[in-house]
Amino acid sequence: MPRPTPLNEQELKQALAELPGWSVQFGKLHREFKFKDFSEAFAFMTRAALIAEAMNHHPDWSNVWNKVVIELVTHSAGGITSLDVEFARRVSQIAR
């Protein structure tokens, strides 16, 4: 499998147009998800963890009560790659 490479500015702009709620902060794809309570937030994180494990691509994230913050960057590539975009798409779908 080829090593992922960072997206260029145009590719990143296009990806963001297809990822409502996501932005780039400090060189990472960033989004905050809010849920009804801690149980819903934790259930979301559990589903997202299964996606991460299946993709072998793990997010930087945190949880405080009903809020989950996800930041994505492919550390080995030194930037945001198609792996980060695909993970963002998948977790956005399960958050609906």
Task: Assign a CATH topology to domain 23-78+87-95.
Answer: Gyrase A; domain 2 (3.30.1360)
Tokens representing 7 are 């997206």
Q: What are the strands of the beta sheet with 28-34, ordered from one edge?
A: 23-25, 28-34, 67-72, 60-64
Mean pLDDT value across the chain: 96
* 79 backbone dihedrals φ, ψ, rounded to 5°: 175, -175
CA 44 – CA 33 distance, rounded (Å): 9
**Cβ(72)–Cβ(4) under 8 Å?**
no
Instruction: Output the pLDDT for position 96.
Output: 80
Q: What are the domain boundaries of the chain?
A: 23-78+87-95
The one-character DSSP state at 24 is E
User: Span 55-83, mean pLDDT?
Assistant: 96
**Cβ(59)–Cβ(48) under 8 Å?**
yes
Instruction: Output the pLDDT for position 3.
Output: 77
Residue 4 pLDDT exceeds 90:
no
